[in-house]
Amino acid sequence: MRWINRRPRRGAEMLLLCLPFAALVAAYLIGSAIRLDANPADKLLPSPAQLWAGIQRIALMPDPRTGEWLLWSDTAASLMRLAAGLGIATVIALLLGMAVGLLPYLRASLGAFVAFLSMVPPLALLPILFITLGLGEAAKICLIVIGVAPIMTRDLALRVHEIPREMIVKAETLSASTWLIALRVVLPQVLPRLLTSLRLQLGPAFLFLIAAEAISADAGLGYRIFLVRRYLAMDVIFPYVAWITLLAVLADIAIDRLRSRVFPWSDLERGA
């Protein structure tokens, strides 16, 4: 039988799913054991017990110096920035993307500009942002918006443009105005795509968030990682990285669930 036709059975599938994770954990444990054997105070690859002690210190008890529960206060600060940034970016993408995709005049004037903007490397703009917007929340949120909004806008505009011309013409024959067509024909069709686009931008958004927090902050997930990196506290960094990954995965799943709950038909479209 050809390899492309062989499929794992259900049990084997679970096993195959777990294997890469298990291999990663095993590699870590072996490396950690070897290093700690050579130097018991080694910080690079802490043992599971040290990791657990680190997790307890950051998540399960207040910090002795500030009295704050570090992981939770950092998470709250970061998620607030992330939600604000992604929220603003989504609204911009929806309004601008629909307008550019729908109206030839706007497409002529803004289409190339948005494409141009989406190619600017946002991290290179950081110094400008910090000087114009200060070191507070505004600059951090703005970096996320600048980082993800142009790409989301382009994506949405392309999607609007892909809507079959016949559908628009049909609506026109039923005497729909531009506004009505946008609202009743285009909007419902692109909303699922907007959510998917948002999902795909979660990774970049986290990247920009952490970059902004590394430069100036007094709380946040990225702030903590870059702070404790100064003394190589991998027992804090590893749990934080795992936590950020988990948050991103959960947000990804939540947005996808939302899409298929609110727009059940979009699942059919994707399969087609």
Partner 1 sequence: MHDPDFHRDFCRARLIGAVTLGLCLAVAGHARAEEKTDFKVAWSIYAGWMPWGYAADNGIVQKWADKYGIAIEVTQFNDYVESMNQFTAGGYDAVTLTNMDGLSIPAAGGVDTTAVIVGDFSAGNDAVILKDGTALTDIAGRPVNLVEFSVSHYLLARALDSVGLSERDVSIVNTADPDMVGAFQTPDVTAMVTWNPMASEIAALPGATKVFDSAQIPGEIIDLMVANTEVLQDNPDFGKALAGIWYETTALMVADTPEGAAARAAMGAASGTDGAGYEAQLAATRLFDKPAEAVAFVNSPDLATTMDHVRGFLFDKGLLGPTAPSADAVGIELPSGQVLGDGANVKLRFTDDWMQMAADGAL
Does residue 45 belong to the site contacting partner 1 (CB under 8 A)?
yes
Does residue 61 belong to the site contacting partner 1 (CB under 8 A)?
no
Sign of CA dihedral 234, 236, 237, 243: positive
- 259, 192 contact by CB (below 8 A): yes
Span 150-189, contacts to partner 1 by CB under 8 A: none
Q: What is the DSSP letter of 182?
A: I
Is residue 174 within a helix (H) or strand (E), and if so which, with residue range? none
* Candidate residues 48, 62, 134, 188; the one interacting with partner 1 per rule CB under 8 A: 134
Q: How far is the CB of 18 from partner 1 (least distance, A)?
A: 10
Is residue 230 within a helix (H) or strand (E), and if so which, with residue range? none
Reference 224, options 32, 77, 34, 9; nearest CA is 77
* Candidate residues 62, 136, 188, 264; the one interacting with partner 1 per rule CB under 8 A: 136
* Candidate residues 17, 24, 61, 180; the one interacting with partner 1 per rule CB under 8 A: 24
Would you say 48 or 127 has its CB closer to partner 1? 127
Q: How far is the CB of 237 from partner 1 (least distance, A)?
A: 11
Q: How far is the CB of 85 from partner 1 (least distance, A)?
A: 19
- 93, 156 contact by CB (below 8 A): yes
Does residue 241 belong to the site contacting partner 1 (CB under 8 A)?
no
Does residue 39 belong to the site contacting partner 1 (CB under 8 A)?
yes
Among the residue ranges 35-43, 87-95, 117-125, 161-169, the one whose residues contact partner 1 (CB under 8 A): 35-43
- Kindly write down the DSSP assignment for every residue of 68-135, as one continuous string: --HHHHHHHHHHHHHHHHHHHHHHHHHHHHHHHHH-HHHHHHHHHHHHHHTTS-GGGGHHHHHHHH-S
Tell me the CB-side half-sphere exposure of residue 113, using CA atoms within 13 A: 8
Enter the tokens of residue 230: 């100064």
Would you say 143 or 160 has its CB closer to partner 1? 143
- 250, 204 contact by CB (below 8 A): no
Does residue 250 belong to the site contacting partner 1 (CB under 8 A)?
no
Does residue 10 belong to the site contacting partner 1 (CB under 8 A)?
no
- 72, 63 contact by CB (below 8 A): no
Does residue 240 belong to the site contacting partner 1 (CB under 8 A)?
no
* Candidate residues 17, 23, 108, 253; the one interacting with partner 1 per rule CB under 8 A: 23
Does residue 216 belong to the site contacting partner 1 (CB under 8 A)?
yes
Q: How far is the CB of 118 from partner 1 (least distance, A)?
A: 25
**CB within 8 A of 81, min separation 6: which ones?**
137, 140, 141, 144, 209, 212, 213, 220
Among the residue ranges 6-14, 94-102, 148-156, 255-263, the one whose residues contact partner 1 (CB under 8 A): 6-14
Interface residues toward partner 1, by CB under 8 A: 1, 6-9, 12, 19-20, 22-24, 26-35, 38-45, 53-54, 57, 64-65, 126-127, 130-131, 134-136, 214-218, 223, 226-227, 229-232, 235
